[in-house]
Structure 1
Amino acid sequence: MKIVCVGDSLTAGYGVSKKANWVSFLKENLNYEVINKGVNGDTSFGVLTRSFQDIIALKPNICIVLIGTNDLLMNRSVENTLDNIKTLVKEMVENDILPVVAFPPKILPSLAKEKWCETIDYQKVNDNLLKLRNLLLAFCSKNSYKSIDLYEAFSSISEGNSYNYYLDGVHFNTRGHEIMYNLIVKAITECI
């Protein structure tokens, strides 16, 4: 069994050690080959342009895709981001790869303004992340694709508890990656 994980810094593990992100936890705890193809700063278009090299050519059984946050931070449209993810999933299915679509988690605006970038309208980004989540949920439900709702999972975290899980309001610390791992490993187990 081979699993490829594609996405942006949330997959690459920005801000934590190589052994302390959700993909590394999968490698440690599953008896499968797990390949991290996360790229810091990547977008849905970026993943799409490297999909043959990073997904199709590797011939995984399962591909977990977690992408979209940077698209929306860069003020790209939700619809364009959704279309790119749909195309990516279609390519996977056409190549007998089981897609698992993770919905990007929300951002904590006050922490992100303090630690990441103060000029971004994080409320607008969160509104668009929620819109993307809802559209991806409908897409996955309609097509019976496995999904992981990280947006919902991290929505209950209050600003006061944010340091327990977030590094900077956008990225996660080891505890945040542990939550992601638990949700993702549960979804993978249901696929196998």
Structure 2
Amino acid sequence: MSKIVFAGHSIVKGTDYGGVTRTDTFAYKIGTAAGYASADIYIKGVSGDTSAGLLARLQADVIGLAPDVCVIMIGANDWSTGVSVATFTANLRLIASKVIGAGIKLVLMTDNMNRGSVAEFVSLGTYEDAIRKVSVEYNCPLVDIFSRMCFKALCNDYTQYYAGTTDKIHFSIAGHTWAAQVSSETSPKDAFVKVTSTPPVVVTEPTAQDVQDLSVAISDYLINGQLTSDLSVIEQIRSRFP
């Protein structure tokens, strides 16, 4: 059975705020939209978790489950607890290398925007930049929630902006629905499923002997008045070619 794991902090967990249930979360909505059965959608969000915490439980909560796909949103608590961008980036790189090294497809998501001061907005943005950078380095799909929410704020779309959160950063039911919609609209097709590539067809080149035999057979066919027997020889030799 195909499985998908969503790992990260309380925004991923979803159910600690605003009366959100498991089936309301963006993780569940993304999973079902991608065709996963409910039992095969694992939501491993831990409130207050950082990149170091996720790294420590990565084997148990992600790799040990042997999913096809792992979606990670982490970073907001690294920012709020003063973990340096350099340390966060190093941890995220290690997480990415372990997940991909285990044969699991990785998808990264940026955090939701924190509704606070301009200084807070700018400083959290540096962690989101690190997530984007790692997604490029490891060639994995990225769902840029942070940028989309920032765009709403810039466009003064405050009705949906405030309706989407229960506090400064955690999604409401409407926010989870919006995040799932963003994932669908901005992600490559099949971003949340593991696509097995078809092995290339190996075409063998004709040997020098094959080419020589065919040349002789064609000459005989032309010289001998295009006999049916000579044509049969040509067809037999031609069958040796790819």
Residue 149 of structure 1: aligned partner = 144
In the alignment, does 2:102 pair up with 1:95?
A: yes
Q: Are the aligned partners of 1:165 and 1:174 in contact in 2 as well (CA < 8 Å)?
A: yes
Give the TM-score of the pair, scaled to structure 1. 0.85
Q: What SS does the aligned partner of 1:136 have?
A: helix
* Segments ≥4 residues shifted beyond 4 Å: none
Question: What amino acid does structure 2 have at the position aligned with 1:84?
Answer: N
Q: Are the aligned partners of 2:92 and 2:134 in contact in 1 as well (CA < 8 Å)?
A: no
Deviations 1:108-148 (A, max 9, x none): 11xxxxxxxxxxxx544422321122222222223321111
RMSD, matched Cα: 1.9
Q: What SS does the aligned partner of 2:22 have?
A: coil
Residue 4 of structure 1: aligned partner = 5
Residue 233 of structure 2: aligned partner = none
Q: Kindly name which structure, 1 or 2, has the bigger radius of gyration based on alpha carbons.
A: 2
Q: Are the aligned partners of 1:26 and 1:34 in contact in 2 as well (CA < 8 Å)?
A: no
Shift of 1:47: 0.6
Shift of 1:36: 0.4
Q: Are the aligned partners of 1:104 and 1:129 in contact in 2 as well (CA < 8 Å)?
A: no
Question: What amino acid does structure 1 have at the position aligned with 2:42?
Answer: I
Percent identity between the two aligned chains: 22
The unaligned stretches of length 5 or more in structure 1 are 110-121
Question: What amino acid does structure 2 have at the position aligned with 1:166?
Answer: T
Residue 190 of structure 1: aligned partner = 190
CA–CA separation in structure 1 for the residues paired with 2:177 and 2:164: 9
Give the TM-score of the pair, scaled to structure 2. 0.69
Residue 64 of structure 1: aligned partner = 71
CA–CA separation in structure 2 for the residues paired with 1:89 and 1:20: 27
Question: What amino acid does structure 1 have at the position aligned with 2:168?
Answer: G
Q: What SS does the aligned partner of 1:172 have?
A: coil
In the alignment, does 2:19 pair up with 1:20?
A: no
**How has the CA–CA distance of structure 1 residues 41 and 170 changed in structure 2, closer, same or farther, with 3 Å as cutoff?**
same
